[in-house]
Chain A
């Protein structure tokens, strides 16, 4: 697998070098490091759409290169370094696990701009982090799921026990319970971002355990295919997954990175780029809710849309007290809103979720 990535990275770089050499006026080169294949129709697909939007926006002034299926960990450091040696002026690393590698390379190349998605490490002035408030979207689909479930068991395919994923589970659960006090969440940790067979197995296990609504925080469409056969409903993850509408996919959370990528690349080219920690949600358009299909009753569609609008306008925050932690101790008092620091490092379930977070 590692050698494959090496080859892919090499191929991507070769294109990059060839492109840079042939252009007379040396375009600004932007490199993207992806955790999955661009054809996953999920997480990586949307980042690649962002890359294409950057190319479209700036035309010949920008050159982009990318490496797919790069393993998280030390190997990423080598891929990033090779990209820069190949002429990249700016690097987007688009998965949580690239954090240390991104910062390690940033120390060696102070003139290159680094943008790390969903991370928190900014050890050097040339490293920014950015993420989307996916939990806002999860609140909306949790609301729909709470209404739709008849067995009152909602299955959740989780990837890794990191704050990003735990936050999503908590947000979805809180809003499902708000409309359906009997709802239960069953969480299966797949320990992968992208493995169609494993994700499909996880979906099947949850369905066999009685779940009639499946949510996923992994990137492939395999759970959708399994759910379709079993007659249960799902939500598109990261990308719209509209090919599974109107059932099983009844709505989706869509990541839209294009506006952010266009803005940051523009700033870097103009020299106005500054280190930042961006965390945008539905309001800023970084998180979108895919079309709600007819499989959802009309009044639920209306209430979900209303919830979405209240979140977008800032009127309502998905983590508003009173909320207790899983062990019953108080977290947020009545009307209190969670601060971003706690959300960013969230490592606990809220009260009512019965499972345990693996360590």
Chain B
């Protein structure tokens, strides 16, 4: 066997976690009719807030020899990452929902602001120690051949991300909250006429999107890289945005897309390591090529495209009409 499929699957699930979380958050935001292009900025804020928290709590716990606090540090770091990114998204919510600024421009500005602010917050934290993040499932389960590593070797956040796929699908599809959220995203005027608080619902959706992106960023810095470096998300936020469109705003397809993109990345590196002659540049570009192809296919059928995209996506709402 040239490439071991088990380690490939384990790697692609791990690699795709940050992008999956961010894309799920953005999906909910877009379903409510808001286009937030600031995912990259929110992710990097999550990464820096998570890492700084993990380091500070670890330092304090070590100094005072509080073992339970040290164990709690990763959890606090994830919460801090979510909070940091949510606070950043609040700026976006205020500008677009209350001051009615252009969503595209505000989202781009949010990314730039987030990257800069994260760099500022993270000064001096590069290479600082953080506690090891314990795996949630017992090591014995991981020893089971094939199934063990694939199903039981992951981090808590990875399981959470996959659970979130089903939770978001269920809420959007089968609950009243999901119906209201979709109504706001399809026609804010109609939803408003029915008495739903369009702005309030959208603000909550934006905050949720921020928290999810932040959790993805915190996973990257606290679990995967175990370090903070400026610009470490390196475009993951943009892939998350592409993924939402690729998935036609369906949570299940977001999961499929995230694993597909992660799988291509993991596979091309493994083919190289196995010295199989592959055009590396082509494989590297393939996620973007696939996205373009999907966009072309989707837009070729207008009725279908209109069916999937929230009708009020990116449109500014004002109660006066």
Contact = CB atoms under 8 A, between A and B. Distances in A.
A111 B275 CA distance: 49
Contacts of B227: 196, 220-222, 225
A186 B229 CA distance: 27
B265 interface: yes
Contacts of A155: 273
A104 interface: no
Contacts of A41: 126-127, 229
Contacts of B232: 196-197, 220
B252 interface: no
Given A191-B284, A197-B232, A221-B227, A208 B7 contact: yes
Contact of A39 (B122, B273, B277): B122
Given A39-B126, A39-B229, A205 B275 contact: no
Contacts of A189: 272, 280
B79 interface: no
Contact of B234 (A188, A197, A209): A197
A195 interface: yes
B275 A37 contact: no
Interface residues of A, number: 42
B116 interface: yes
Interface string A62-100: 000000110000000000000000000000000000000
Interface residues of B, number: 42
A355 B278 CA distance: 11
A221 B280 CA distance: 23
A7 interface: yes
B264 to A, nearest CB: 11
A208 B224 contact: no
A70 B265 CA distance: 25
B127 A206 contact: no
B270 interface: yes
A205 B277 contact: no
A186 B273 contact: yes
Contacts of A196: 220, 225, 227, 229, 232, 234
B16 to A, nearest CB: 11
B273 A243 contact: no
Nearest to B129: A243
B119 interface: yes
Given A4-B112, A4-B115, A208 B229 contact: no
Contacts of B115: 4
Contacts of A209: 270, 273-274
Contacts of A195: 234
B229 A3 contact: no
B268 to A, nearest CB: 9
A356 interface: yes
A293 interface: no
Nearest to A220: B229
Contacts of B4: 208
A358 B280 contact: yes
A214 to B, nearest CB: 11
A243 B226 CA distance: 12
B275 A69 contact: no
Interface string A153-193: 00100000000000000000000000000000011111110
A315 to B, nearest CB: 36
Interface string B173-203: 0000000000000000000000000000000
Nearest to A244: B127
A222 B272 contact: no
Nearest to B267: A205
Nearest to B109: A3
A8 B117 CA distance: 12
Contact of B272 (A188, A221, A354): A188
A36 to B, nearest CB: 8
Interface string B194-224: 0000000000000000000000000010001
9 contacts: A4-B116, A39-B122, A39-B230, A186-B273, A205-B266, A205-B269, A206-B273, A209-B274, A225-B227
| Nearest 10 CB-CB pairings of A with B | A37-B230, A205-B269, A209-B273, A208-B7, A39-B126, A225-B226, A195-B234, A196-B225, A188-B272, A205-B270
